[in-house]
Amino acid sequence: MRGDLPEVVGVCGAGTMGAGIAQVAVGCGMRTLLFDPLPEALERGAARVREGIARWRERGRLSPEQADGALELLEPVGDLEALAPCELVIEAAPERLDLKHDLFRRLSAIVDEQAVLATNTSSIPVTEIARAATNPERVCGMHFFNPAPLMRLLEVIAADQTGERALAVAFATGREMGKHVILAQDGPGFLVNRCGRPFNGEALRCLQERLATHEQIDRIVRLGGGFRMGPFELMDLVGVDTGFAVAKSFTELSFGEPRWRPSTIQARLVAAGRLGRKADGGVAVGQGGGPLGPPALGLAVVEDQRPGHRHVQADLGRHLHDLVTPGQDLRAQPEVLGAQKVHRSLGVDIGWKRLGPLGDLHPHQRGLMGQMGQEVLEVGVVEERQVPPGFGRVVGLRLVALADGEDEISPERQRGAPEASQVERLLGLVDADPNVAPMG
């Protein structure tokens, strides 16, 4: 121990979080003993650490010498007793109180009585965990976020029994690892996960109530809310089983608070083994099972404020969804964004050459078109779609122009986009059928 900084760190659990914590520890020069009772899990966890260090080396975060040194500091161990020399042990086991109690009882008898025992729990009160230790004053929470090598925040949690030295060691270790360390209140979810419960919970309720598909919910959150990941993408990254366990823990610890109840969708995915990226199948990953929500539509039918009018936006959303889906060969789908279909959906005369009359657009429709246009511009076009360079740009520009009340793309917006005639020839698009009367 150098002051409050440990020289030997133990990590209990070689899953996604445990491997990530071990990578951060060896990356900052700490000898790290990675423990897991399952040999195959230990092997996978150690491989994750090595791969992570290799990525840091490729990206220049570590020099070749530093990367080699970090790998030498990693020691996978299959016996808990091997953690005896550790000055700090970070538990990263599944979110089961009985399992954590067993680990802390055993660790109390293995490590030195001055060693600090930390838990990476994301939902169980640290006070509950600490009571299993022989000297509970040396127990604290060190809640890393997934993926631990990338996420800079670290919550340090003081149990009712935690002493000042344990907190000092946790803070010093987190800062040495390059984390922004905050002191959080003990209780279900602490600070960040307490705030994050509605993010996942409401998304699952929207999906269960068939308000939108999981792809749509993720897109809306990214584009409209500015989040880097949607709730279902995040669930797959963290692990559907982990999120399910956290939700059950929240519900139990809050004595059945309705806001935090688990979703039957989570239960179904876990039962089917669709646990997210780590299992190559989850919600957004989508392998190993059928769809989780309604068919891909743009938005639900929106009631017009004018009596007797309904504006059906589904077709436009579906065709635009096809347009921005990688791997689509649009030459085989001349009906994609066909003017007649868009015309029937929106109730306005929309062709590639004449986009109007805009006065008939309902505000909901105008907002949808702007949102979809921005999405096409952001997603862009990949080679697999076999369309002219800049095709996604011209689609996006036209839709954004519509939303802004412009019949034509301005020269400033047009710059860099292909001629509309190229797009029309490729897709076989035509102007709207003049015999179809607008709905609006």
Among positive and negative, which fits the CA dihedral 296, 301, 302, 306?
A: positive
pLDDT score recorded for residue 286:
52
pLDDT band at residue 427 using 50, 70 and 90 as cut-offs:
very low
- Percent of the chain residues topping a pLDDT of 70: 64
Q: What is the pLDDT of residue 25?
A: 98
Contact 175, 168 (CB under 8 A): no
Task: With a cut of 80, say whether residue 171 has pLDDT above it.
Answer: yes
Q: Look up the CATH architecture of domain 192-279.
A: Orthogonal Bundle (1.10)
Give the confidence band of 95 by pLDDT, cuts at 50, 70, 90: confident
Tell whether the model's pLDDT for residue 135 goes beyond 90. yes
Active site residue 193: yes
Centre a 10 Å sphere on the Cβ of residue 78 and count the other Cβ atoms it contains: 14
One of 87, 91, 120, 122 is an active-site residue; which one? Answer: 122
Q: What is the pLDDT at residue 304? A: 32
Q: Which of 36-40, 232-236, 332-336 has the highest mean pLDDT?
A: 36-40
pLDDT above 60 for 170: yes
pLDDT of residue 257: 87
pLDDT score of 408: 55
- CATH number (3.40.50.300, 2.60.40.10, 3.40.50.720, 3.40.50.1820) of 8-184 reads 3.40.50.720
Residue tagged active-site, from 95, 155, 215, 375: 155
Ranges 91-95, 138-142, 401-405: which has the least confidence? 401-405
Start-to-end CA distance of the chain, whole Å, equals 75
Does the pLDDT of residue 382 top 70, yes or no?
no
Q: Is 202 a catalytic residue?
A: no
| Measured distance CA(198)–CA(260) in Å, rounded | 8
Residue spans per domain, the chain: 8-184, 192-279, 302-427
Catalytic annotation present for 122 = yes
Q: Which tens digit of pLDDT belongs to each residue from 406-420?
A: 555 565 555 544 444
Of the candidates 87, 108, 120, 143, the residue annotated as catalytic is 143
pLDDT of residue 31 exceeding 80, the answer is yes
Which residue, 41, 32, 38, is CA-closest to 10? Answer: 32
How far is Cα 170 from Cα 168, in angstroms, rounded to an integer?
A: 5
- Among 81-85, 141-145, 357-361, 416-420, the minimum mean pLDDT is found in 357-361
Indicate yes or no: pTM above 0.85. no
pLDDT tens profile 311-341: 323 333 444 444 433 344 333 333 333 333 3
pLDDT recorded at residue 308? 34
